[in-house]
Amino acid sequence: MSVQTYTPREFHRQAHDALGNPQIRGNFRKAMDGLMTKRRDSFGDWDLETLRELGANIRLRALAKLPDLLERLEANCQANGIRVHWAEDGEEACRIIREICQAHEARSVIKGKSMVSEEMHLNAHLEAAGIEALESDLGEYLVQLNEQTPSHIIMPAIHLNTDEISEILHEKTGTERTRDVDYMTAAARQQLRERFMAADVGISGVNFAVAETGTLCLVENEGNGRMTTTVPPVHIAVTGIEKVVEHLRDVPPLYALLTRSATGQHVTTYFNMISSPRKEGEHDGPKEVHLVLVDSGRSRIYQDDELLDTLRCIRCGACMNHCPVYTRVGGHAYGTTYPGPIGSILSPHMMGLEETRDLPTASSLCGACGEVCPVKIPIPDLLVRLRREAVGEGRGNVPGAGVKRTRKEAAAWKSYQWLATHPGAWRSGTAVVGRLKALMPAKLGAWTEYRTAPEPAGRTLHALVKQHQADKPGGRTPDKEERR
Amino acid sequence: MTPVKCYPPRPKKVYFFGTCLIDLFYPDAGLDGIRLLEREGIEVLFPQDQTCCGQPAYTSGYQEEARAVAAAQLDLFPESWPIIVPSGSCGGMMRTHYPKLFAGTPLEKKASEISGRIYELTEFLVHVCHLRLEDRGQPEKVAMHTSCSARREMGLAETGPALLAQLGQVELVEQERAAECCGFGGTFAVRHPEISAAMVEDKTLAIEAASAERFVTSDCGCLMNIGGRFAHQKKALTGEHIASYLWRRTS
Amino acid sequence: MSARDTILNRLRERADGPLTAPECDFAVVTDRGWGLDERLARFERWITSVHGEVIHAPWETWTEALAQVLTRKGIRTLALGREHPVAAEARRALADADLELVDVDRDIEGWQQEQFECVDAGLTSVRGAVAETGSLWLWPTPDEPRLISLVPSIHIAVLDAETIEDTFFDVVERHGWAREMPTNALLISGPSKTADIEQTLAYGVHGPRELVVLVRHVDADTEKSL
């Protein structure tokens, strides 16, 4: 299957295309407006700041103890009969999963939603090995039928509207063209039920992995996650190493934050907690459960005190729902598995700054993302940190650091520095303006294509203040230079 | 968000940090801010050696350059008077980011001390001066655009509207998605001009749809962006810095 | 070195040094102090807000209410356990009813197709509920396996009113979940749903289209108010 691909290298072009597509613009605007309202309403009478504080502290505590908790998670999972695997990168994780499938002579895999599996392009890997991987989350299913990737981490098909979805289902599965959402949903239910029954392996993600009990928690509304983890004889859960939490009691506050932040729901339909494969005497559930723990750059992020905060993320998507840039260009424009603000602070670590050079700047630093983040990740500060890394003024802890450094721009900022630290020169206002313009000579055109450029005032505030002080009774006369 | 601040009593003197955008493009807004303070009986000190807070370099990733520029401002406010900044963006930089920028350097203590004295102009007028205004202007419908830095970094969503609410002849209208960014974002508007343009387009449409005859803002970056868009479309709707608007209508 | 050891070593030899774990104050997710009526009201408000159906019945005659639900919904085949008192009583009460009772205490491999295609509804007990979110909590057993609350189009859950607690956190703490987790623990809050088609809600996308919560009351006062 050829999947429509996007790449962060082409961010500008992809954003340009999205901005010019009224359908995309309309779909995202409508969806994001609705999600923002629902989130706000859902926290209603909660003491949100206290809850966020707790959420942040739970995640920080887990990160502080991360290696110990991973070992504890492993030991408790194993004691419960869950087999634990470790993968340094996506390729290794894909290989581990493929080998489990092959050991069971699996031909058909059914998947619950897992962004980590998207991150490692698991479906393509399995298909290359002759194993069919079918997405079962309705949004993921639609996106897969349409040969696309998700455009949002919670709502994968949010870029599509009802008519487009009707057309996709009609074309790929032979359903009637309709605007009846119940009809389309029922059709998908019918199609996927067959596949659940036939699947040899179910693959899911994990929302929280509890070290204390060896429990894998999955959050969902549809029931496909429960199907995926209960119907096939083998269940493989795949997750990033940062998803571990210490205690079971850490889960309720994070779950409360996750559902409200993500979709404005006070709770999801299902909260599915899996602690072992089918035990002796039990009548359903998989006989084998595997947990694949994936690093893929996370342990590198972990090294740096500031970057570490990136790993607090519980993947709610609120930052993208509230991002004015994401709302305009949609998820595909970013060309990364994780779009929007969280993607822009996470993807550079996974793909390198060379690939993702335009993402840290793709934000007006308006702060909406940081304001709504349920675990208080200082996203704007991290964007600035990555901008530093990109121009070679950081600590070099990100792959591709320094890739955006150009002698011209560095020199421009040096001359800005010189001017702004030489007040005498600065005060000769017009000269300052002239020289600042040199910062981005080629690009001022872009400003004036949409806006009238500001005209430098004849006199600077410095000069006006001197005049103002002189005009006051007993004030001193400004000198000639300042009067100019 | 900054924690709730305990405001001091009204001081005899304040420092005024004009910001580079005001200095170069909107000097009248700066002067009007000074006049508003002086009318309250406060002596305004304007250190002539001030230049820029360093934010453009800071948000572009040039931290060394930003630190050098910021360091040059730290010596300008030797006495303990409050420092008034007519911009949430520069105010946010100085209040929120200076301590971090100088963390672990010999200037750390000084930077923290300075940051504790930073007040955005409307914040100072509302919470310290308890400003009372008498409107002398004509009836007008006005939309307020509070900058993202004022709103989120400094927690000042209410101060601008609170001042406008005192103007008897002014009807404050609220545009749809008032809290959404106008798309300026400093170098963002230059690096991602098309996205920025889409954002300012929506902002101007929202302000128009609210039947505003004028918009006011407390940040000249937003003013330049939103006003520039209106001007480019040759619309009659214009914008003004809130300091100028308040001064003009009450003097 | 194995991937495991490489990863753990890298985490342990952290460049910026060891981290300090902050304290966590859980006060915000507990101590609601609601009474029984308040809990019941909240539970009902929330679960009905997400399309769950709530039916109240006195403890003594709950099976009559069950029979009415089955008739009203035209249920011809009902999957249910055998040993749990809820299942046992339902079986006794429905013995002569015009409907097929499907045994679930058998390995799924032998009747998967039947379960997916021929069962109208599943009946289960629940261990309790959460007032704050309108959630049922279940620990499936060999007597009432996991798929009974998932595969049939209708899920009927029997809840005792006094087992509703304030918050999910309270349930986890008071019942000592951390000491011994079952194979599968579940919160269920409404029927299966999706909003993946342009944010339009649709029910029954994979799991049940309908969730009926039959709330049993021992309190005579509550009965009167039914």
Q: For the segment A290-342, what is each residue's pLDDT rounded down to a tens digit?
A: 999 999 999 999 999 999 999 999 999 999 999 999 999 999 999 999 999 99
Going by C-alpha positions, the residue among A268, A286, A266 that lies closest to residue A278 is A286
Is the pLDDT at A3 greater than 90, yes or no? no
Mean pLDDT of B15-44: 96
pLDDT tens-digit readout, B193-247: 999 999 999 999 999 999 999 999 999 999 999 999 999 999 999 999 999 999 9
Do C and B touch (≥3 CB pairs < 8 Å)?
A: no
Confidence of residue A45 (pLDDT cuts 50, 70, 90): confident
Element (DSSP H or E) covering residue C51: none
Distances (CA, A) of A252 to A54, A69, C168: 11, 18, 6
Mean pLDDT of B135-163: 97
CB contact under 8 A, B232 and A417: no
B90 and B164, same domain (yes or no): no
At residue A441, the pLDDT reads: 41
Element (DSSP H or E) covering residue A345: helix A340-351
Strands A270-274 and A215-220: antiparallel
Mutate to test the interface with A, among B34, B51, B232 (most CBs of A within 10 A): B51
Residues of A with Cβ-Cβ distance to B224 under 8 angstroms: 451, 454
CB contact under 8 A, B193 and A368: no
What does pLDDT average to over chain A? 93
Of A368, A432, A450, the CB nearest to B24: A432
Answer yes or no: is C91 within a domain. yes
Q: Could you tell me if A283 lies within 8 Å of chain C, comparing CB atoms?
A: yes
At residue B24, the pLDDT reads: 87
At residue A440, the pLDDT reads: 44
B144 and B118, same domain (yes or no): no
CATH code assigned at C173: 3.40.50.10420
At residue A480, the pLDDT reads: 41
B24 and B114, same domain (yes or no): yes
pLDDT tens-digit readout, A133-182: 999 999 999 999 999 999 999 999 999 999 999 999 999 999 999 999 99
CB contact under 8 A, A447 and B65: no
Work out how many domains chain B is built from and give that number.
Answer: 2
Distance CA C92, CA A305 (A): 64
Residues of A with Cβ-Cβ distance to C104 under 8 angstroms: 283
At residue A444, the pLDDT reads: 59
At residue A1, the pLDDT reads: 46
Answer yes or no: is B80 within a domain. yes
At residue A429, the pLDDT reads: 63
pLDDT above 70 covers what percent of chain B? 98
Domain enclosing residue B47, as ranges: 13-127
Is the pLDDT at A422 greater than 50, yes or no? yes
B95 and B158, same domain (yes or no): no
Residues of B with Cβ-Cβ distance to A447 under 8 angstroms: 189-190, 193, 228
Q: Which of A88-102, A126-140, A175-189, A443-457 has the lowest mean pLDDT?
A: A443-457
Mean pLDDT of B20-25: 91
Answer yes or no: is B3 within a domain. no
Answer yes or no: is B135 within a domain. no
Residues of A with Cβ-Cβ distance to C178 under 8 angstroms: 212-213, 247-249
B109 and B30, same domain (yes or no): yes
Of B27, B151, B188, the CB nearest to A459: B27
At residue A428, the pLDDT reads: 78
Work out how many domains chain C is built from and give that number.
Answer: 1
pLDDT tens-digit readout, B75-102: 999 999 999 999 999 999 999 999 999 9
Answer yes or no: is B133 within a domain. no
The 3-class secondary structure across chain B, one letter per residue, is CCCCCCCCCCCCEEEECCCHHHHHCCHHHHHHHHHHHHHCCCEEECCCCCCCCCHHHHHCCCHHHHHHHHHHHHCCCCCCCCEEECCHHHHHHHHHHHHHHCCCCCCHHHHHHHHCCEEEHHHHHHHHCCCCCCCCCCCEEEEEECCHHHHHHCCCCCHHHHHHCCCCCEEEECCCCCCCCCCCCCCHHHHCHHHHHHHHHHHHHHHHHCCCCEEEECCHHHHHHHHHHHHHCCCCCEEEEHHHHHHHHHC
Residues of C with Cβ-Cβ distance to A138 under 8 angstroms: 194, 196-197, 205
Mutate to test the interface with B, among A366, A407, A408, A436 (most CBs of B within 10 A): A366
Q: Which of A121-125, A251-255, C49-53, C222-226 has the lowest mean pLDDT?
A: C222-226
Answer yes or no: is B199 within a domain. yes
Distance CA A312, CA A377 (A): 7
pLDDT above 90 covers what percent of chain B? 96
CB contact under 8 A, B60 and A363: no
CB contact under 8 A, A371 and B28: no
Of A12, A364, A410, the CB nearest to B188: A364
Answer yes or no: is C57 within a domain. yes
Is the pLDDT at A447 greater than 90, yes or no? no
Distance CA C156, CA C144 (A): 13
Residues of C with Cβ-Cβ distance to A88 under 8 angstroms: 3, 6-7
CATH code assigned at B224: 3.40.50
A370 close to A364: Cβ distance less than 8 angstroms: no
Distance CA A276, CA A251 (A): 18
B81 and B104, same domain (yes or no): yes
Distance CA B199, CA A292 (A): 42
Domain enclosing residue C72, as ranges: 34-225
B231 and B158, same domain (yes or no): yes
Mutate to test the interface with C, among A226, A229, A242 (most CBs of C within 10 A): A226
At residue A481, the pLDDT reads: 40
Distances (CA, A) of A414 to B67, B85, C68: 12, 25, 81
Is the pLDDT at A55 greater than 90, yes or no? yes
Answer yes or no: is C13 within a domain. no
Q: Could you tell me if A75 lies within 8 Å of chain C, comparing CB atoms?
A: no
SS3 A10: helix
Answer yes or no: is B210 within a domain. yes
Residues of A with Cβ-Cβ distance to C119 under 8 angstroms: none
B185 and B101, same domain (yes or no): no
CB contact under 8 A, C24 and A87: no
CB contact under 8 A, B185 and A366: yes
Of A182, A265, A283, the CB nearest to C202: A182
Q: Could you tell me if A105 lies within 8 Å of chain C, comparing CB atoms?
A: no
Confidence of residue A484 (pLDDT cuts 50, 70, 90): very low
In chain C, which residues have pLDDT < 50? 223-226
What's the CA dihedral at A146, A152, A156, A157 to 10 degrees? Answer: -60
Distance CA A98, CA A377 (A): 35
Answer yes or no: is C195 within a domain. yes
At residue C224, the pLDDT reads: 47
Is the pLDDT at B166 greater than 80, yes or no? yes
Answer yes or no: is C141 within a domain. yes
How would you label B98-112 residue by residue, b for 16+ Cβ within 10 Å and e otherwise? bbebbeeeebeebbe
Q: If you measure CA to CA, which chain C residue comes closest to A274?
A: C184
Answer yes or no: is B203 within a domain. yes
Confidence of residue A434 (pLDDT cuts 50, 70, 90): low
Q: If you measure CA to CA, which chain A residue comes closest to B61?
A: A388
DSSP H helical ranges for A65-128 = 66-80, 90-103, 115-119, 122-128
At residue A431, the pLDDT reads: 55
CB contact under 8 A, C142 and A256: no
Answer yes or no: is C8 within a domain. no
Query: Min CA distance, C58 vs chain A (Å)?
Result: 27
At residue A445, the pLDDT reads: 65
Is the pLDDT at A389 greater than 80, yes or no? yes
What is the number of H-type helices and E-type strands within chain A? 25, 10
Of A366, A389, A447, the CB nearest to B190: A447
B29 and B114, same domain (yes or no): yes
DSSP A391-414: TT-S-S-STTTTTT--HHHHHHHH
Q: Pick the last residue of a domain from B102, B127, B152.
A: B127
CB contact under 8 A, C205 and A283: no
Going by C-alpha positions, the residue among A224, A258, A233 that lies closest to residue A243 is A258
Answer yes or no: is C28 within a domain. no
pLDDT above 70 covers what percent of chain A? 93
pLDDT tens-digit readout, A200-211: 999 999 999 999
Beta bridge partners of A133: A109
pLDDT tens-digit readout, A460-479: 899 999 999 999 877 655 44
Query: Min CA distance, A321 vs chain B (Å)?
Result: 12
